[in-house]
Amino acid sequence: MAEFDFDVIVIGSGPGGYVAAIRAAQLGLKTACVESRETLGGTCLNVGCIPSKALLHGSELFEEANNGTLAKFGVKIPAPELDLPTMQGEKATAVKELTGGIAFLFKKNKVTWLKGSGSFVDKHTVQVGDAQHSAKNIVIATGSSVTPLPGVTVDNEGGVIVDSTGGLALDRVPNKMVVIGGGVIGLELGSVWRRLGAQVTIVEFLDQLLPGMDGAVRKEAAKIFKKQGMELKLSTKVTGATVEGGKATLTLEPSAGGDAETIEADCVLVAIGRRPNTDGLNLAAIGLETNQRGQIVPDHEFRTKVDSVWAVGDVIPGPMLAHKAEDEGIAVAENIAGETGIVNHAVIPSVVYTMPEMAGVGLTEEAAREAGHDIKVGNFPMMANSRAKTNREPDGFVKIIADAETDRVLGAWCIASLAGTMIAQVAQAMEFGATSEDIAYTCHAHPTHSEAIKEAAMAVRGLPIHI
């Protein structure tokens, strides 16, 4: 008899987990994946990245029809009517197709789905429901969940105070929505409901939106969202919330302390961040501890201090991004199989899928200076890009940060309608150690938004053509 039931058991089927399971199976390892949801794909596919993009796209189409953008280009239609159930139905269809696709890939690659929640019995054994399953290697890929806000109780069923899951499933457009948190999730979902007709107020504890992004992006983002009609309450904290008669009343104070005020809303979206899902794993059974942030800290190969246990994705340090988790999932499977799996954590792009999109990769200008780099910075405005100008998408810019001595690209940040797609070019260039000159002398198709990246690279040396 085999010593273990499986070569690899992956706990969690989000982007890190399902990718790790499929890659392990491709490498000839007998693999199982533990998942308690009725569908695979984790938060991202079920109640995160994918459904939010469906609503973002649908709301963008509605706004184009509703605010005169289509009419400006000669597409004249009667006043559009919002059919929210149909929009939500399209979202559900996209989710079903993609989660079903993961189930198909599991069958194709002979990955066993162990349905239920997993917890450790020992370093080679996982309890799933009433059964125990053993493996030579176990990968923790349990993802993250919404961070609660003290004094503000989320009730997604009630629909008045909701988290990101509830914010994706509203059955009506609120008259007034307050979003607590000016990060990626809050701004994306706030954008959806603003476009569909809600008055949206963003309450952010810090003095700027989008913590972690380049200062120029954060500053410009505030201007753009204000222009779009959002009210921003920065340097403000929420200290309490009550619900009565289908409305919420929030108590706010300046972050540094001061006089309180109250505001009312039909819907409050709590989006202050996410925390690792490590509770319930019974890590004590294998002697594995978490750090102060509740994260598991593995080595560069993603092996924990318990030699048979590995960890990837949102449960380990680093940005909580699906594509980071996917790359780690591939790498951990390759390491388990005896190959060399590597993730360059210095080149992980991040994107905010508002309109326009906001994206970056590598160091911010502030981080580059703090790290002691002597830098040169090139900027190019989207209003000077021919395609953006033609499409009437003038907001935004591209910014490239390069080492002053070597010209090697250290980071890039942009705001543009296609920023999320554009940033991939710079990420790949950085992976190959490109200089700004390499990008500047790469021929870019005309007319495209990506020409702004070429011009920003030229601007590093003070030589852009179109400004």
Q: What percent of the chain has pLDDT over 90?
A: 100
Question: Distance between CA atoms of 347 and 324, rounded to whole angstroms?
Answer: 10
Q: What contacts 24+ positions apart, CB below 8 Å, involve 293-301?
A: 293/317, 296/140, 301/331, 301/332, 301/335, 301/341
Mean pLDDT taken over the chain: 97
- Report pLDDT for 339: 97
Q: What backbone torsions phi and psi does residue 150 show, to the nearest 5 degrees?
A: -55, 135
Task: For the chain, list the domains and their CATH numbers.
Answer: 6-145+275-336 (3.50.50.60), 161-272 (3.50.50.60), 350-460 (3.30.390.30)
- Count other Cβ atoms within 10 Å, centred on residue 284: 9
In sequence order, the 6+-apart residues with CB closer than 8 A to the CB of 17 are 10, 11, 33, 35, 42, 139, 141, 142, 143, 312, 313, 329
Question: Distance between CA atoms of 60 and 356, rounded to whole angstroms?
Answer: 10
pLDDT digits (tens, 9 = 90+) for 245-298: 999 999 999 999 999 999 999 999 999 999 999 999 999 999 999 999 999 999
- Report pLDDT for 150: 95
Q: What is the CB-side half-sphere exposure of residue 352 using CA atoms within 13 A?
A: 31
User: 124 catalytic, yes or no?
Assistant: no
Binding residues: 53, 118, 142-144, 181-188, 204, 273, 314, 320-323
- Checking if the pLDDT of 394 tops 80, the result is yes
pLDDT digits (tens, 9 = 90+) for 146-183: 999 999 999 999 999 999 999 999 999 999 999 999 99
Q: What percent of the chain has pLDDT over 70?
A: 100
Backbone region of residue 339 per phi and psi (left: phi > 0; alpha: psi in -120 to 50; beta: other values): beta
pLDDT digits (tens, 9 = 90+) for 342-389: 999 999 999 999 999 999 999 999 999 999 999 999 999 999 999 999
In sequence order, the 6+-apart residues with CB closer than 8 A to the CB of 50 are 41, 44, 94, 95, 98
pLDDT digits (tens, 9 = 90+) for 218-239: 999 999 999 999 999 999 999 9
Binding residues for FAD: 53, 118, 142-144, 314, 320-323
SS3 of the chain: the string is CCCCCEEEEEECCCHHHHHHHHHHHHCCCCEEEEECCCCCCHHHHHHCHHHHHHHHHHHHHHHHHHCCHHHHCCCCCCCCCCCHHHHHHHHHHHHHHHHHHHHHHHHHCCCEEEECCEEEEECCEEEECCEEEEEEEEEECCCEEECCECCECCCCCCCCEECHHHHCCCCCCCCEEEEECCCHHHHHHHHHHHHCCCEEEEECCCCCCCCCCCHHHHHHHHHHHHHCCCEEECCEEEEEEEEECCEEEEEEEECCCCCCEEEEECEEEECCCEEECCCCCCHHHHCCCCCCCCCCCCCCCCECCCCCEEECHHHCCCCCCHHHHHHHHHHHHHHHCCCCCCCCCCCCCEEECCCCEEEEEECCHHHHHHCCCCEEEEEEEHHHCHHHHHCCCCCCEEEEEEECCCCEEEEEEEEECCHHHHHHHHHHHHHCCCEHHHHHCCCCCCCCCCHHHHHHHHHHCCCCCCC
Q: pLDDT band for position 1 (50/70/90)?
A: very low
Binding residues for NAD(+): 181-188, 204, 273
Among the listed residues 461, 238, 442, the one whose alpha carbon sits nearest the alpha carbon of residue 453: 442
Average of pLDDT values for 311-325?
Answer: 98
Catalytically annotated residue among 300, 345, 446, 466? 446
